[in-house]
Structure 1
Amino acid sequence: MDSPNRNRGTKRRYSGDQDAWECPDDATSAHPSISPIQAHTKMQSTDIGGDKNHESYIPAGAEESPDACQASRVPASTVTASDDEYYRTLYSRELDFHALGERDRELGSLLQGGSRLDFANPLVVMQLTKTLLRLHFGLRVDLPLDRLCPPVPNRHNYILWLKDLLDSSSTSYSQIYEPERPVEGLDIGTGASLVYPLLACAQRPAWTFIATDVDAKSIAYARRNAELNSLQSRIRVVSRDIAAPLIPLDDLNIETIDFVMVNPPFYASESELLDLARQKSRPPHSACTGAPIEMVCEGGEVGFVRRIIDESLILRRRVQWYTAMLGKQSSLDVLVSLLKENGIDNYAMKTFVQGNKTRRWALGWSFHCRRPSLRASRGVELAMTKNILPFPTEVTALRKRVSCGIDPEQLERKLRTTMETLDLVSWNWDTLRKKGVGFADGNVWSRAYRRRKERQNHMTTAPPQRDEASADKAKTNADLFTRQKLRGVVDCAFGFALSIRVEHGSYGIADEVTLAVRWLQGHDYSLFESFTGMLRNAILRTVRDPDEK
């Protein structure tokens, strides 16, 4: 089976208006998608319909065609972290339309003045999407003129966030990309383009999708686009009824999946769509080709995501992350309040910014106790969302100047000694990387816990007593303690990661030591706060500022 190759993009990268080829307020029809893979192929320089001296890339040995992208199947293990970094920075700069036009004759023929595109022309909007998917992701798509044409950078942002969310909350607690890890996702309302499953499969070789929609035409095109990229085995396109559950795990005989994603219909009614369009002081930046089924639903985006929240309250841990992209910040406020009302404390937010005109917001929530990274969970403007932000999952417990010539090994020994004196379920330290991961059943560092443990130990070591009830109680406590120690880390109330870094100064500048603490697992934020405070105090007894007397 062929899979899309990674084609190195233009010399300059995109961050221009995502409005530039999307409806004034973006939206999509209804239902999911699942599938994995992406190839890291050996590249070679060749021409794609332009100047022979201009760079572009295709898989080694592939025959070049302006209308087709070929790629070789490559094992997931060959996809490296550097590939992920390539995708992360892909659209960090503005697109160079002139350079893109040189590499793609079809786009080049639509340029005005050699470097501009008319986004009011639906054909231009469509061709730019096709060009970016082909040159940057090795993907081919067939798009109808009467359905939404997705802006690639904006859709790519959603995939980048999902990767962060899943990588930082995996069952391995590694907090990094694991190429061999299989991931299943559900794309609700995948649309004719099938853009989210295609983008994800192009970047992550071990990902698979279920893609759903209620629109027959969109389903037909989505299946065609999966076939064009030889991804039928990784992307299952499913037609759904508009009144059916949005997350059809039972209907599809699926026990669990890793995530749900949706770009919901934005408007509550067609009249709202038309009214808002009339209120615009200027024409939209781009042609809107979407059908009403893609842009309108009862209750708008809040109503649609509320349905997903309701279903998640039933499915709960059968999905690790439920996510949605939103077009209004006010929707974020309403939906976070709804999550809190239902006792959901593990949630994440992200702002997607492309250029200086369009913003989108992402919301994710989970019934699992594994916590995502700070970048994945609090990637929003603090001033605008301060009251609804999730708890931080990463803090610098200590950043302090230390005396010149401080021994990093001394700091490491202090940290390890502190951890080893605690009654942890698990604790592992990587000496080479100066990082450790641990798990506890609760606050095992408090004075109250230590006193309770001392009493318990005294009861188990004291001579036999005449009171058989007391002896049985002591035995029960000891057995409980043993069972807790033998139990795995999955159900532990608190999980954490620690890292120490010492930066050596020069010419009289004091060294600086940093202790970073990462909340990996748990629902009780007060445990994280208390643990961080305990660590700070323990390390401060070792590290002293040279100015301190």
Structure 2
Amino acid sequence: MTDPSLYRVSTPDFRALAAKYPATLGKFVKDDRGYEAKIDFQDAEAVRCLAETLLQHDFGIYATFSLSNLCPTIPNRLAYISLIHELLTWSLPTWHLLHHFQHQPPPADDRIRGLDIGTGASAIYPILGIACFPHWNFTATDIDPNSLDYAKNHIIDHPNNGTHLSDRVSLLHVDPNASFLPDQQTGLEFTMCNPPFYTSFEEMNRSASLKKLPANAVCHGSRSEMIVEGGQVRLVQRMIRESITTERKVLWWTCMLGKLSSVAQLAAELKVLSGEGKIGGWGVNELKTGGGKTKRWVIMWTRTKLRLSDELGRKDLRSSLEKSRPNSTERTGKKLDVGPGWTRKELLESTMAILRDLDGCFVYPSSYSGQQDAGQRRGSRFRSQSVSELNQAVRRRSDADPGRLDVILTQESWTRRARRSKLQAQASDSTHLQDTSNIEPLMMVRISIHETNETGGTGLVVKVNCTYGIDMVKFESFAMFFLGAVERKVQQSTRRSTDSADAQA
């Protein structure tokens, strides 16, 4: 299994690769023994050989790429796969917890199902995804039967790959005007698409002539790989329309774009649809590709109420996208100077005391971890039927990761009015024990605690992320209440400790 962030850490070492593969890549590497060896990216044969070598060396995949089709740039393509992994890692724990909360049956298996729309002659996204994640499986579609035949014969069924790829990739020819989702396709965790840039060869040539500098690498491909009627914007608009009308389940729709103007237009449209409640969470992410100059952006959206973190959906975007960014889904409290007697575990238990007083509030030790394979989370089991069991579960989890909780809120029990009503009625915490099979959560949040050294001195910071929900005004209200309550509780505890120390003195 290959780390999908491989090329973020370091770019390929051409000198080392040339030494290991002298008969193939070695012929194209120019090495004057300076800082680093180089490859001529205007040489189509060299670019193909590099892609084939990287697949073999870093992923254990054998491929022979077509001379007449686009040759994939492996680091850029891997960056898209890495983003999908981060997207699932963030959202699947919430999705599975929701199913548990509503007593829905667990998934039949551990597989993560993806759809690659327009896979081309390289089928690059399925093969990279499978090389990185043992639970991923793909359906890969294309409108060009020749591209599919080539991908099958020279990559998927390559004799050196055995059945590793063919068992987990299904290639499917589709009509250009057909639905993006194949008829026989059932539930999907995600879709991927890297649409053609241009509406015509004339536009492609005009775009090349307007560039101040020549392209970083040679670019050639079949008509269906380079050109689409209406351009990439119209294609993605059609995809968005299908996503909000289809009854078939797709957790996340995604699309990679190479023109910033297209990103800005589509992001603005997604922002409107989100405001109308036609989609739930959405975001834009500029791919992290290491040292490469080529820029790519991925737009992501869902029909569900799942929400993206700011890190995934709105961070570090160009100023031209500022007006089109999604609203923030997280709030961070002040740095808490809690003193030497406090750790994340103690602060977590204080947050538990606050949540315990809220009716309709269900708390679980979070199964989110940015380091695990998202597919492995399907086997997670959530358990928290009572306050005492909850505290025990949190303490058990705290031994491993004392800094995260996933919280389900079914009513606005944090408002002043609700808390006054509870005091008057002397309400108990029996709402924690109710049947939740037919309850749709008001929202779900992820509470995390981490250490910080910013603004002088070490302290603890509490962050609240909305992971599920439509009404962001209610999220803002809850976050303000919760962060304020945590701050007051820490201040009270600190004062008691100080008073006790003074009394002993």
TM bucket normalised to smaller:
0.7 to 0.9
Question: How far apart are the structure 2 equivalents of 1:352 and 1:327?
Answer: 11
Aligned partner of 1:183 among 104, 112, 126? 112
In structure 2, the CA distance between the partners of 1:379 and 1:409, relative to structure 1 (3 Å rule), is closer
| Correspondence list, 1:26-425, <5 A | 86-105=3-22, 106-113=24-31, 115-170=37-92, 171-172=95-96, 181-224=110-153, 225-228=155-158, 229=161, 230=163, 231-248=165-182, 251-252=183-184, 254-315=185-246, 318-342=249-273, 343=276, 344-354=279-289, 355=291, 357-381=293-317, 383-406=319-342, 411-425=347-361
Of 367-376 and 139-148, the range deviating more from structure 2: 367-376
Residues 22-53 of structure 1 show CA distances to partners (whole Å, capped at 9, x for unaligned) of: xxxxxxxxxxxxxxxxxxxxxxxxxxxxxxxx
Question: 2:104 aligns to what?
Answer: none
Q: TM-score, normalised by structure 1?
A: 0.73
Task: Report the alpha carbon displacement of residue 415 of structure 1 after superposing the two structures with TM.
Answer: 1.5
Report whether the alignment pairs 1:437 with 2:406. yes
Residues 484-513 of structure 1 show CA distances to partners (whole Å, capped at 9, x for unaligned) of: 9311498312111223346799xxx86512
Task: Report the alpha carbon displacement of residue 379 of structure 1 after superposing the two structures with TM.
Answer: 4.1
RMSD: 3.1
- Extract unaligned runs of 5+ from structure 2: 99-106, 366-393, 500-505
More helix by share: 2
Question: 1:76 aligns to what?
Answer: none
Q: Tell me, what secondary structure is at the counterpart of 1:150?
A: coil
Question: How far apart are the structure 2 equivalents of 1:167 and 1:215?
Answer: 33
Residues 346-373 of structure 1 show CA distances to partners (whole Å, capped at 9, x for unaligned) of: 1021102443521111001001122233
Q: Tell me, what secondary structure is at the counterpart of 2:296?
A: strand
% same residue: 30
Question: How far apart are the structure 2 equivalents of 1:382 and 1:485?
Answer: 47
Aligned partner of 2:466 among 512, 515, 519? 519
- Extract unaligned runs of 5+ from structure 1: 1-5, 7-82, 462-480
Q: TM-score, normalised by structure 2?
A: 0.79
In structure 2, the CA distance between the partners of 1:135 and 1:368, relative to structure 1 (3 Å rule), is same
Question: How far apart are the structure 2 equivalents of 1:239 and 1:425?
Answer: 48
- 2:298 corresponds to which letter in structure 1? A
Question: How far apart are the structure 2 equivalents of 1:389 and 1:210?
Answer: 31
In structure 2, the CA distance between the partners of 1:152 and 1:269, relative to structure 1 (3 Å rule), is same
- 1:530 corresponds to which letter in structure 2? S
Residues 288-330 of structure 1 show CA distances to partners (whole Å, capped at 9, x for unaligned) of: 2211221111121101111101111112661100100011122
Question: Rg bigger for which structure?
Answer: 1
- 2:488 corresponds to which letter in structure 1? R
Task: Report the alpha carbon displacement of residue 406 of structure 1 after superposing the two structures with TM.
Answer: 4.5
Check the 8 A contact 1:164/1:373 in 2, yes or no: no
Task: Report the alpha carbon displacement of residue 117 of structure 1 after superposing the two structures with TM.
Answer: 1.4
Check the 8 A contact 1:418/1:538 in 2, yes or no: yes
In structure 2, the CA distance between the partners of 1:173 and 1:279, relative to structure 1 (3 Å rule), is same
Question: 1:13 aligns to what?
Answer: none
In structure 2, the CA distance between the partners of 1:274 and 1:443, relative to structure 1 (3 Å rule), is same
Check the 8 A contact 1:402/1:543 in 2, yes or no: yes
